[in-house]
A and B are shown apart, each in its own frame.
Chain A
Amino acid sequence: MKEVQQQYLSKTASKLKPSGIRKFFDLASQMDNVISLGVGEPDFVTPWNVCEAGYASLESGYTAYTANAGLLELREEISSYLSDQFSLSYSAESQIILTVGASQAIDLAFRSIIDPGDEVVIVEPGFVAYAPAVTLAGGIPVSLETKAEDEFKLTRESLEKAITKRTKAILLCFPSNPTGATMSKEELQSVTDVIEKHDLLVLSDEIYAELTYDETHYSIARLDGMKERTILISGFSKAFAMTGWRLGYVTGPEEIIAAMLKIHQYTMMCAPTIAQHGALEALQNGRDDLEKMKKSYRQRRNYLVKAFNQIGLSCHMPGGAFYAFPSIQSTGMTSDEFAEKLLEEERVAVVPGHVFGAGGEGYIRCSYATSIESLQEAVKRIGVFVERHRAE
């Protein structure tokens, strides 16, 4: 029966590989007493005032669709938020679409710009969904490997090397999932002439923009000549601890946003109404909670990164997001072996670096969005594990 069913599948769907994260999810969910550093979302629940706003919207009967692009009031709020926090100016009427998570924004962006055979450069190690999203849109994802010695930042040389005549766009995500790498204004500036020379579009996934711990985030769209070629993607999941609300947004040049809106109105109609009401409250009154959460992540980052270096897993200090990305090369194991054995022997779940594409092998992703007590216990267990396996 299975084979009969398979004959109906499209070639694209058949060829699509399941995410490497899935295996660890399956393993870890069957075990007890697991400390998970494998979770890619905040450990805070959504701030209560935001939840209240969600309830209130239901009580007031806001249960219908919104405009395709989302509530105008929310788009206006996003427009002033982007201007206040990141000095970016976008029109609420014609340049912002609310999406179902930043994930949908990524999908919309690729579907709006890719013709068959177009190449998109993906900065890796990177979020697992980028390359498949390019493939599903008919394009060809091209890996650009960033290196630990560059603190996983994008460099001119690596960018030049990844570009071909068919390259249409480059996808950036800084602060990065999984490396936590950030790019300063100067570092971004050093690649913009390459982008202009090859006339590339930039997809900048800035979902972690609020979670930077040493320097304030600087958007590439602020640099000269970049705004008109940048599609900026963000959302509420990470900054406001709203992952389950599924709400993101995309801004960019009018023509491109108009094309994305066409696809959005046929495939999604609009983002969830209740989530949009919650997001409005988050933007209007959520700053204090955001700052508190950020402070707490920063403290846990400081602890975890230092602890990894002390137990012999060398780890750069990530400037943003909530992931540490230590090297496990000193153990001689692949990241898959390391993660699997660590889970079996010590009941600590991490994500092997190879699932994040080029440059990820030899590393593991550890989220520090978990309680300081759990982090301490995890460090203890990983320390024992590393000691045992190094002795072998």
Chain B
Amino acid sequence: MNEKEIEILEILEDNARVPMEVLADMVDLSVDEVEKIIKSLEEKDIILSYSSVINWDKTAGKDSVAAMIDVKVTPKREVGFDEIAERIYRFPEVKAVYLMSGAFDLSVQIEGKTMKEVAFFVSNKLSTLDSVLSTTTHFLLKKYKHDGVIFEPEQKDKRIVVSP
């Protein structure tokens, strides 16, 4: 991976909506060159998707409940944790799965419409999986910062408008 590719990735990770011409100028390449680089990064599954960070609390009519679940599992010979991780992440309500060091094995983030829905998932779908030994569910009360984005930013530029 060369320096320009990393620079492009950093810019896109921060703002995927930056216009191609602007991005090209920023990294001092032509639009063609940047498009080619991005295409190849997409093909290599280095860039996986372009998503937005949304504060759903501010929208009306789409309430949801999120929880982080600590899961202890029995790893299997040869496939280790990968097989059970896959069986968990294939559920659409699962937003993230991480293998962790420490007191438990998998950290599973899940989102549902209601608390009941989340509880149903844990008791009926997750806990019933063969390799799952135990679960501890933590409901998320408030998001302050997600993926490096602060949810209630102070956006006002505090600098004086013209200075030497």
Contacts and interface: CB of A to CB of B under 8 A. Distances in A.
Interface residues of B, number: 19
Contacts of B157: 36, 43, 370
B27 A39 contact: no
A41 B163 contact: yes
Interface string A14-54: 00000101001100110000101011110101000000000
B94 to A, nearest CB: 32
B38 interface: no
B162 A303 contact: no
Given A302-B25, A307-B25, A25 B161 contact: yes
A230 B12 CA distance: 44
A129 interface: yes
A36 B22 contact: no
Contacts of B26: 299-300, 302-303, 372
A43 B159 contact: yes
Most B CB atoms within 10 A — which of A34, A127, A295, A306?
A306
Contact of A39 (B7, B19, B161): B161
B148 interface: no
B164 A128 contact: yes
Contacts of B164: 19, 21, 40, 127-129, 177
Interface string A292-336: 000100011011001100000000000000000000000000000
A39 B11 CA distance: 24
A325 to B, nearest CB: 14
B33 interface: no
A383 B121 CA distance: 56
A376 interface: yes
A111 to B, nearest CB: 20
A302 B25 CA distance: 6
A351 interface: yes
B162 A36 contact: yes
B18 interface: yes
B141 interface: no
Contacts of A300: 26
A303 B163 contact: no
Interface string A45-67: 10000000000000000000000
Contacts of A372: 15, 18, 22, 26
A349 interface: yes
Contact of B161 (A36, A45, A299, A302): A36
B160 interface: yes
A3 B163 CA distance: 30
Contacts of B7: 295, 299
Residue picked from B7, B157, B164, most chain A C-beta under 10 Å: B164
Contacts of A303: 22, 25-26
B28 interface: yes
Interface of A: 19, 21, 24-25, 28-29, 34, 36, 38-41, 43, 45, 127-129, 177, 295, 299-300, 302-303, 306-307, 349, 351, 370, 372, 376
22 contacts: A21-B162, A24-B162, A25-B161, A29-B162, A34-B161, A36-B161, A38-B162, A38-B163, A39-B159, A39-B161, A40-B163, A41-B163, A43-B157, A43-B159, A45-B158, A299-B27, A302-B26, A303-B26, A349-B162, A351-B162, A372-B15, A376-B22
Given A28-B162, A34-B161, 8 more contacts: A25-B161, A36-B157, A38-B161, A299-B7, A300-B26, A302-B28, A351-B162, A372-B22
Give the 6 A-B CB pairs with smallest separation, nearest first: A38-B162, A299-B26, A25-B162, A303-B25, A28-B161, A40-B163
